[in-house]
Structure 1
């Protein structure tokens, strides 16, 4: 039996590689002779670095950058085997994973460190940058990132405003005199899995600001600040990024990348699947496993599972989804090519226990799935 295992990560629990490995262990307990292709996947957020380096080849570099609260940390990015394409995972420098719960504050957090990673890639001679912008702790519209590349964000007194989305209301003028001109000759591809505009009820602040530590009052203030930011960008660059789909990704970093780096926003999972040439493997498969930590109605829109299932559906390959939690609104998941959905949680348990036991739960779940399949399929 030819089996493809192509999951996303279980966030704050297991990497995509670890998820794939544990599913494979369970499968081999039932079908030790099966041909198994373990292909860890990312939809453009956390995990894009590991996914592309493992799938295409390349090397990692470590750089000292500023974290979301402007403290020095070591962050890594990758350069693919062509030595011209950098892969940057925004979360490595500007992610929620870098902050303790009490430190989360979208008024203060900045994308400055992400800009430093981009600058280092330019220093290495890269002329193409793939940047995954999921998992950010920020709501500054990418202003910190742009500042790290040489721009200045000034108030009406000619002074630079502070870092963070909470200071954008003071923005009066953007000075691009010293902005890194190498960007003009660099192709920037933005892997994005959301289509939110920059502002409004569906915008960066109102939808995602709460999980980054913002109160309701903060979110309204941040939304107003991003609207002001967009107006200032329009007056400076004659570019209106206020309502472009995806501009609100990563606290508005999508907008900053489009406006200042001429970034092209693409569907993250489609980019990954095309780059790794997974279709050629799936079309030969008898069965596909995929999954992520939680599935809900968002799973149907540009996430790993939808991308894998849609591809497998073309070749009538059954797709099994394994997940830690099944949310609401997944009724239509079967219409996109998913054959069955399984939660790995096999008894009532607290979240911490489920996280601690996740490897064994994945193994047991995939083993039981294969035992069922074996009843009807001679491997």
Structure 2
């Protein structure tokens, strides 16, 4: 019997590594002699750094940078055992939680801190950067990141009352981007950007309109940010010899405040679904090969789980004939939806009526117990 445990984190209660260990412990209760593989997973958003470090067996490293509004902070990153591949969670340099104490500042927040982490990695000689861009506080089109890597941003007269830095409130004043001063390795390294949305850069489904309010943007702020991103696309297109309309409408360019806009045309970065990036990095296909049973899971199983998230990556890669069971904090799909998605079954960790805080506090134990119950049914 070969069992592969490949869950996402259960946000606020169990990391992906803890969830994988709990699933494995539950499976061992029923199949003590089975070959059981633990493979913490993520979809490219927050938690991806910890998931990859767990698989690589590597500790997190740190570097001193700044947050999205320019205050000093210590950021975490990771590297593969051979030092050639780095994992960078952008939220370590521009994350919403790190600026919540100062009040959200959507026109000021930028990606300069993300660029400082990347610059450190370039100086350390990495050959590939896996950039995970969820959870951002900024909407600057990646301009701050470029500046931290050595690009010189030329402005027209700054708007009256503009905040310092490279935030989205100043994008309309950008006249040109001089990339001659970029770090020498910035265009030699391979950039792969994990995105988990298909939103374009601008418009009704763009970065500002859809995600700006989550970052504190008012209706007026959204208009400023959207116009600024549209203008920045013109500037970037002129610099890179690209089509500005194509940049504004490209799927996924609205992720993380438009961060792909600066990286794809100017640094030859590639975007791909986060779950695909992580699957390649951790060797998911090889781990699933020959599996009889696959246990996966996340905090909430719903329709979004089937569109590029961890459960989706697992169900589409599991070998034919393998049972695929989801263990989740809550299950919001019907039994018919679960079967229609190609899953064998889905179980909630809640043993009955319970307060959310109680479930969060006992999540590893509850995950183990639910996995044991699921395995017992399959073993009949």
Assess same fold via TM > 0.5. yes
Q: 1:356 aligns with which of 344, 353, 361?
A: 361
Question: Quick one: structure 1 residues 332 and 231, their matched pair in 2 at CA, closer, same or farther if it must change by over 3 Å?
Answer: farther
Describe the SS at the equivalent of 2:187: helix
Match of 1:162 in 2: 165
Match of 2:299 in 1: 293
Describe the SS at the equivalent of 1:342: strand
Q: Distance in 1 between matches of 2:254 and 2:53?
A: 27
Question: Quick one: structure 1 residues 185 and 98, their matched pair in 2 at CA, closer, same or farther if it must change by over 3 Å?
Answer: same
- Measured against aligned partners, the alpha-carbon deviations of 1:153-182 in whole angstroms (never above 9, x if no partner) come to 332138996332222233233233422232
2:101 is aligned with 1:98: no
Q: After superposing the two structures, state which structure 1 stretch, 213-222 or 6-15, moved more.
A: 213-222
Question: Quick one: structure 1 residues 166 and 43, their matched pair in 2 at CA, closer, same or farther if it must change by over 3 Å?
Answer: same
Contact 2:158 2:173 in 1 (8 A): no
2:202 is aligned with 1:182: no
Question: Quick one: structure 1 residues 342 and 211, their matched pair in 2 at CA, closer, same or farther if it must change by over 3 Å?
Answer: farther
Q: 1:270 aligns with which of 276, 291, 294?
A: 276
Match of 2:347 in 1: 342
Match of 2:217 in 1: 214
Q: CA deviation at 1:101?
A: 6.6
Describe the SS at the equivalent of 1:368: helix
Q: CA deviation at 1:213?
A: 2.7
Contact 1:59 1:80 in 2 (8 A): no
Question: Quick one: structure 1 residues 113 and 30, their matched pair in 2 at CA, closer, same or farther if it must change by over 3 Å?
Answer: same
- Measured against aligned partners, the alpha-carbon deviations of 1:163-218 in whole angstroms (never above 9, x if no partner) come to 32222233233233422232121111112222221112222222222332333443
Match of 1:4 in 2: 4
Q: CA deviation at 1:321?
A: 1.1
RMSD value, Cα: 2.5
Q: TM-score, normalised by structure 1?
A: 0.89
Question: Quick one: structure 1 residues 361 and 107, their matched pair in 2 at CA, closer, same or farther if it must change by over 3 Å?
Answer: farther
Match of 2:240 in 1: 237
- Measured against aligned partners, the alpha-carbon deviations of 1:207-251 in whole angstroms (never above 9, x if no partner) come to 222332333443333222211221222233222321111111111
Q: Distance in 2 between matches of 1:275 and 1:293?
A: 23
Aligned length: 374
Question: Quick one: structure 1 residues 356 and 56, their matched pair in 2 at CA, closer, same or farther if it must change by over 3 Å?
Answer: closer
Match of 1:315 in 2: 320
- Measured against aligned partners, the alpha-carbon deviations of 1:240-265 in whole angstroms (never above 9, x if no partner) come to 32111111111111222213321111
Match of 1:152 in 2: 152
Q: CA deviation at 1:311?
A: 0.8
Alignment of 1:1-379 (within 5 A): 1-56=1-56, 60-100=60-100, 103-157=103-157, 162-239=165-242, 240=244, 241-312=247-318, 314-327=319-332, 332=337, 334-374=339-379, 376=380
Q: TM-score, normalised by structure 2?
A: 0.89
Unaligned stretches of 5+ residues in structure 2: none
Describe the SS at the equivalent of 1:341: strand
